[in-house]
Structure 1
Amino acid sequence: MESYTVSGELSIYTASNEKQSLLAFLQSADELEVNLSQVSEFDTAGLQVLIVLKQAAIQHQKTLHYVMHSKAVLDVLEMTNMTGIFGDQVVLT
């Protein structure tokens, strides 16, 4: 399993660049995980990137998991009622 860690902001200011990096990472293996523990700021643009990446993984028949969600990520997922949408285990502390 290949792993990729998103660090810093995943927001409107960084979404475009991070999306390109994540889509390139998607080509690296059939089973992938994206570690979100280092995401310091997260907004709906970041959420859109995660949705697009999950859809691309499904389209290319790859397994993609989001793991280690930071508080910033969890706050937006909870606010948008999307915590369970991705099908990944979320550990609340």
Structure 2
Amino acid sequence: MTTVAPAGGLRRFVFDDELTVVTAAEHRERLLATLGDGAGLRIDLSGIADLDTAGLQVLLVARNEGVRLGLPVEFADPSPAVAEVLSLTRLEL
């Protein structure tokens, strides 16, 4: 599950479960809906216990949509699971 709350000009989006193929579509829709409201996002990655390629795609879609809309999208506090995937893929969010 996720929550969205204000965070100093950016809306804070907090993950508190996995971000995998099982949950990716739901999270993608919530992230894009939040961006569609015209607010930038600070995405807290500390609560992600499991991240697969579908989840990684969700994060990249959010970042790219922010660029397209001219809205800031920040990623914060990657969990060990997220840090491992980023290291393996040599991506920086």
Query: Would you say same fold, with TM above 0.5?
Result: yes
Q: CA RMSD in A?
A: 1.1
TM-score by structure 2 length? 0.84
Equivalence map 1:74-89=2 (5 Å): 74-82=83-91, 84=92, 86=93
1:12/1:43 contact within 8 Å kept: yes
Cross-structure match for 2:62: 53
**Helix, strand or coil at the partner of 2:50:** strand
Deviation of 1:27 after TM superposition, in Å, equals 2.7
Same amino acid, percent of matched pairs: 31
Equivalence map 1:66-77=2 (5 Å): 66-77=75-86
The counterpart of 1:14, out of the listed 5, 23, 34, is 23
Structure 2 unaligned blocks of 5 or more: 1-9
Whose strand proportion is higher, 1 or 2?
A: 1
**Helix, strand or coil at the partner of 1:62:** coil
2:40/2:66 contact within 8 Å kept: no
The counterpart of 1:38, out of the listed 30, 47, 60, is 47
Cross-structure match for 1:23: 32
Aligned residues: 84
Structure 1 unaligned blocks of 5 or more: 87-93
